[in-house]
Amino acid sequence: MPRTALLVSTALIAALVPLSVARAADDPAPTPVDRFEGEVPFASQPADGIFTWGSDSDDPPALQLADRADAPEGAKVLSGTYDISGYGGFTHDFAATEPAHDWSTHKGIRFWWDGQDNGKKIAFEIKDGGTNGEASELWTTSFTDDFTGWKQIEIPFTDFVYRTDYQPVGGIDHVLGLTRMWGYAVTLPVGIKGQFAMDDVELYGKADQALRASVTTDAAVYPVKEGGTASVKVTVATTGSAPIDDPVTVAYETTGGTAEAGKDYKAVSGTLTFPAGTASGATQTIQVPTLKDRSAESAETIPLKLTVTGAKAPAETPQAVIDAHGLPYLDSRLPVKKRVADLLSRMSLEEKAGQMTQAERGAVGTGGDIAAYDLGSLLSGGGSTPTPDTAAAWAQMIDSFQLRAQATRFQIPLIYGVDAVHGHNNLAGATIMPHNIGIGATRDPRLAEKAGAVTASEVRATGIPWDFAPCLCVSRDERWGRSYESFGEDPALVKSMETIIQGLQGRADGSDLSRDDKVLATAKHFVGDGGTAYGSSTTGSYTIDQGVTTVTRQQLEAIHLAPFQTAVDRGIGTVMPSYSSLDIVGDGLGPVKMHARADMIDGVLKGRMGFKGFVISDWNAMDQLPGDYPAHVRTAVNAGVDMMMVPYGYKDFTATLIAEVKAGRVSEQRVDDAVSRILTQKFRLGLFEHPYADTSGASRIGSTAHRAVARQAAAESQVLLKNSGNVLPLKKSEKVYVAGSNADDLGNQTGGWTLTWQGQSGTHTTGTTILQGMKNAGGDVTYSKDASAPTSGYDVGVVVVGETPYAEGVGDVGNGNDLVLTAADQAAVDKVCAAMKCAVLIVSGRPQLIGDRLGEIDALVASWLPGTEGDGVADVLYGKRAFTGQLPVTWPKSEAQLPINVGDASYDPQYPYGWGLTTLTKAPKGGEATLRALGAAARAAERAGASSTGRKLVGEARLLVQAKVGQSITAAVSKPFADADHLLLTGRYGAAVQRLTEAYEAA
């Protein structure tokens, strides 16, 4: 709205107020915000205007200013239609180029709504503080459309609560100040096709102190050792931070709870007074002394009832908690098995059900339900972060949740989990590694372990002890939107990269888990998620993710199960089943969702493989099982799932699980097994002794040392597919023309699962793009993203193209994605490569179909998704490091070839699995005679168990073969070449050289 709209005369404002609306004599006149008469345009930041938004292109509502004879104010109203599947709504942001508005003198905000009586809740939020409407704090409330026709909705500012599920930027002050307001937003109902009309948004009423002032305590829970004193700080604060006008009194008394006055604590009561004129933020303290006795006891609670006059009371009653003490499970000197048995023997069914439950942080708000439901675990989904998204804020948030767990009877700590799948990727400023497909390309198990260690260090330093990684999927079809989460298509390669588990967890016996730089790891997704057939998914518009994997028993064992046995042998702490279904040929069961396969989870994983950790479900995965909700619960639990990830459904899950146990459909023995497994890992992590964040390692987050590991990984992940005329490495003396959509885009370079679930283009965290890396390397570089700048006068061109971020089934080919470069990328390649020698880098999560342009491209590099350290890519481009990466997946000629994998009977790719040229190292000479000698030496090394020597000999043979083959890669060359790399990974060095010899002879 025009800035003058808030400066109109009182008389005019009074004339605009509908006659039907009465106001108190001393209330200020309403202040209009939106009249919808055309004074506010449809426009977005930085302009003043109304704009729509939604989770996809179909979700934003259609808006118009419509003439309505029954308009509550003026002639027009804001009306619209909507049909929302994800989320959608509209916003009015005030102009960022003008001062923010001051709403602090009013009681609240109101507007007219044309009710449709659909029974749906409509969220209404306001924007407070910060620099503009899209960089402000969001405060939210809702009203229900359970009426017909026009109704004025009045919302006092005291009804608004700080959003914990989403904030667009770092936190301002978490206080609704109302002195710097930037607008409002409306979130429309999901799941119905609807229409709405709205009119006359205005500020109303007087902000009297009882509504403007509030009393808070510095915590909701105050744990104290028996005999100690709990100190409860009581603070008075005002909206707008003005001193209080009238006195505020706080009467307090200890009452209720499980502790006994006189025996466990000294009863206290009294009154605190904050006189008129007291500054906002003033604090006084109440002391609650506890008493010692000689008995071992569980924790006992002492609620402190507060009665407030003159201000808004705290949202909940604070309570002191006398810590549990003297019980065997608290004795860290006892073996973990004994501690688990003792604690389990004391727990009720309700407490056990809570331990088997994992909720999303956004669902529990400030955490009161943690104690109410005895919750055992919380998680952050992709992009679910505190505000601000800093290491300190993560630690503070998780500590606040852990504090809530201290109010439970046995003070069992929470275990908090995140998807740190390539570094601590939810944390802004963290070190972001290449995605797993790039790590697989390095063929460097030691580097994989280092990457895991860096990730663990940064995750644990923010108070998080559990990582939902690594993904041990064997990706068999690159149309899958998760293919970049795989180390490769060969189970032998995946197994070799599982050194990352030691990087995350430390020693296989779990003895390192309590360290401040280690986390509990998760092998996922059990089993066969990488083998789903194209077109088999029944999840929304997905084409392959969460579909059906159809295999023989032998294929299941050799391809998909093998990496999980390795993980178990390496001491993996948790395993996550797959969303997908498994159809084993000949077993007569057909496709069965993995969360229901007791034969695989309980039988194979826990039984035959000997897995001793616990099984955590995927996000709401049990909801995909057949039957009603109780059937979902008992099926998944009886199949062997120990903890259920029910982000927003934790209340229903715990109630249903308890009912199923009481009805005898889930045995108490099964529950005890699940809880024992969960408690075992909590004890091993040292959470009972140290539940709160150890932030001593926070200074290492994003440190030079950590980024050096990511830089090395980025460099080693680069796969040189073609290098005609030795275009690479570049020389610093060369004038280099750089183009392409991914040359200078950190978001595209880091891919999905970075800051948000799907990732996003642009600069969203700290790092170095490939372009900046080239400049840092000392290159003489000119950049033109679309290659529109003149191309004459350059020695060589570097065109960086590829994909934009995606995750999971959203990235499936056929779901709005393909394997072809965009028209803009193709044009950039064509223009640059026609004008000069050129190298093309493909930044992507999977191979791209580039065969039709290979003739014009001199050098081709598969860069994968290299993470935040573009300097690592520049290191190999300029020869600081050699290109050493090898293809972790087969590079197809066409989409029609997919799926295509090493070992296939018919195998004629663009580039075979294992292909990767090198620089700075010359291939051996001598042809077949040299290969025969290498073969003999390799067989001798194999017999002697000299694996390092064997790998080196096979590597020399591979270079010799690639030197002869050049770009004349035929089916006769590809199949034995790819087979050789598989044989190398399985330790059969002599056979590997033999297959390479066959490829040489076929060239």
The amino acid sitting at 769 is T
Q: Using DSSP, state whether 203 is helix, strand or coil.
A: strand
SS3 percent helix, strand, coil of the chain, rounded to 5, is 30, 25, 45
Cis peptide before 289 (omega within 30 of 0): no
The pLDDT value recorded for residue 24 is 58
Please, what's the b/e burial string for 915-948 (b: 16 or more CB within 10 A of its CB; e: otherwise)? bbbbbeeebeeeeeebbeebbebbbebbeeebee
125 is known as an active-site residue: no
Structure tokens that stand for 905 in this block: 């009977």
Average pLDDT over residues 300-307: 98
* CA–CA gap between residue 270 and residue 248 (Å, rounded): 14
Does residue 3 register a pLDDT over 60? Answer: no
Average pLDDT over residues 379-388: 90
Q: How confident is the model at residue 525 (pLDDT cuts 50, 70, 90)?
A: very high
Average pLDDT over residues 583-588: 96
* CA–CA gap between residue 624 and residue 646 (Å, rounded): 12
Compute CA 851 distance to the chain's CA centroid, rounded to the nearest angstrom.
Answer: 35
Average pLDDT over residues 365-373: 94
- H/E stretch holding 384: none
Does residue 11 register a pLDDT over 70? Answer: no
Average pLDDT over residues 607-632: 97
The pLDDT value recorded for residue 110 is 98
* CA–CA gap between residue 630 and residue 872 (Å, rounded): 52
The pLDDT value recorded for residue 170 is 59
The torsion angles phi and psi of 261, rounded to 5 degrees, stand at: -60, 140
Secondary structure string (H, E, C) spanning 220-274:
CEEEECCCCEEEEEEEEEECCCCCCCCCEEEEEEECCCCCCECCCECCCEEEEEE
* Cβ atoms 185, 136 nearer than 8 A: no
* Cβ atoms 267, 320 nearer than 8 A: no
Please name the residues in contact with 823: beta carbons below 8 A apart, sequence gap of 6 or more: none
Per residue in 75-117, pLDDT (tens digit) is: 999 999 999 888 899 999 999 999 999 998 899 999 999 999 9
* Cβ atoms 265, 322 nearer than 8 A: yes
* CA–CA gap between residue 917 and residue 186 (Å, rounded): 55
DSSP 693-710: --GGGGGGTT-HHHHHHH
The amino acid sitting at 60 is P
The pLDDT value recorded for residue 25 is 59
Compute CA 393 distance to the chain's CA centroid, rounded to the nearest angstrom.
Answer: 16
Does residue 13 register a pLDDT over 50? Answer: no
Q: Using DSSP, state whether 301 is helix, strand or coil.
A: strand
The pLDDT value recorded for residue 2 is 25
CA–CA distance from 338 to each of 126, 432, 681, 744, 863 (Å)? 53, 40, 13, 56, 50
Structure tokens that stand for 260 in this block: 């006994």
Q: How confident is the model at residue 4 (pLDDT cuts 50, 70, 90)?
A: very low
* CA–CA gap between residue 547 and residue 593 (Å, rounded): 9
Per residue in 664-703, pLDDT (tens digit) is: 999 999 999 999 999 999 999 999 999 999 999 999 999 9
CA–CA distance from 739 to each of 662, 833, 865 (Å)? 66, 11, 18
- H/E stretch holding 280: none
Give which of 568, 569, 570, 619 is closest to 595, Cα–Cα. Answer: 619
Look up residue 28 and give its DSSP letter.
P
Average pLDDT over residues 21-34: 76
Please name the residues in contact with 748: beta carbons below 8 A apart, sequence gap of 6 or more: 741, 742, 761, 802, 803, 804, 805, 843
Does residue 21 register a pLDDT over 70? Answer: no
Catalytic-labelled residue, pool 114, 374, 618, 745 = 618
Catalytic-labelled residue, pool 602, 808, 825, 956 = 808
Structure tokens that stand for 988 in this block: 């059969």
Give which of 615, 608, 637 is closest to 625, Cα–Cα. Answer: 637
The pLDDT value recorded for residue 635 is 98
Cis peptide before 729 (omega within 30 of 0): yes
Q: Using DSSP, state whether 399 is helix, strand or coil.
A: helix
Per residue in 799-842, pLDDT (tens digit) is: 999 999 999 999 999 999 999 999 999 999 999 999 999 999 99
CA dihedral for 783, 788, 794, 797, sign (positive or negative): positive
Least confident window among 24-38, 240-254, 838-852: 24-38
Q: How confident is the model at residue 218 (pLDDT cuts 50, 70, 90)?
A: very high
Return the residue matching tokens 């005999």.
Answer: 227
Helix axis angle for 668-684 and 629-639, nearest 10°, is 60
Does residue 5 register a pLDDT over 50? Answer: no
Give which of 865, 993, 867 is closest to 930, Cα–Cα. Answer: 993
CA dihedral for 615, 620, 621, 622, sign (positive or negative): positive
Structure tokens that stand for 870 in this block: 């573009």
* CA–CA gap between residue 215 and residue 200 (Å, rounded): 33
The pLDDT value recorded for residue 851 is 94
* Cβ atoms 828, 801 nearer than 8 A: yes
The pLDDT value recorded for residue 8 is 31
618 is known as an active-site residue: yes
Average pLDDT over residues 378-406: 94
* Cβ atoms 919, 723 nearer than 8 A: yes
The pLDDT value recorded for residue 146 is 94
Per residue in 627-655, pLDDT (tens digit) is: 999 999 999 999 999 999 999 999 999 99
Does residue 15 register a pLDDT over 80? Answer: no
CA–CA distance from 249 to each of 234, 246, 312, 766 (Å)? 11, 10, 11, 48
- H/E stretch holding 671: helix 668-684
The pLDDT value recorded for residue 242 is 82
> What is the tally of helices (H) and strands (E) in the chain?
26, 37
Per residue in 40-81, pLDDT (tens digit) is: 999 998 999 999 998 777 889 999 999 999 999 999 999 999
The pLDDT value recorded for residue 9 is 31
The torsion angles phi and psi of 437, rounded to 5 degrees, stand at: -60, -35
* Cβ atoms 517, 453 nearer than 8 A: yes
* Cβ atoms 219, 227 nearer than 8 A: no
Per residue in 545-578, pLDDT (tens digit) is: 999 999 999 999 999 999 999 999 999 999 999 9
Does residue 175 register a pLDDT over 80? Answer: no
Average pLDDT over residues 584-597: 97
List beta partners, residue 221.
319
List beta partners, residue 155.
109
Q: Using DSSP, state whether 54 is helix, strand or coil.
A: strand
Average pLDDT over residues 465-490: 98
% of the chain residues with pLDDT over 70? 97
* CA–CA gap between residue 839 and residue 861 (Å, rounded): 8
% of the chain residues with pLDDT over 90? 90
Compute CA 734 distance to the chain's CA centroid, rounded to the nearest angstrom.
Answer: 41
Return the residue matching tokens 């006055």.
Answer: 261
Least confident window among 39-43, 235-239, 779-783, 903-907: 235-239
* CA–CA gap between residue 474 and residue 847 (Å, rounded): 16
* Cβ atoms 984, 954 nearer than 8 A: yes
The torsion angles phi and psi of 577, rounded to 5 degrees, stand at: -70, 165
Does residue 172 register a pLDDT over 80? Answer: no
List beta partners, residue 273.
249
Average pLDDT over residues 125-132: 92
Does residue 989 register a pLDDT over 60? Answer: yes
Beta carbons within 10 angstroms of residue 69's beta carbon: 5
List beta partners, residue 494.
none
The pLDDT value recorded for residue 206 is 87
Q: Using DSSP, state whether 581 is helix, strand or coil.
A: strand
The edge-to-edge listing of strands for the beta sheet with 377-380 is: 466-467, 415-418, 377-380, 357-360, 644-645
Instruction: With 0.75 as the threshold, say if the pTM is over it.
Output: yes
Cis peptide before 899 (omega within 30 of 0): yes
DSSP 897-933: G-S--TT-SS---SB-TT--B-SSSPPP-SHHHHHHH
Structure tokens that stand for 564 in this block: 């999980």
Average pLDDT taken over every residue of the chain: 94
CA–CA distance from 574 to each of 192, 639, 794 (Å)? 39, 16, 54
Give which of 577, 461, 456 is closest to 521, Cα–Cα. Answer: 456
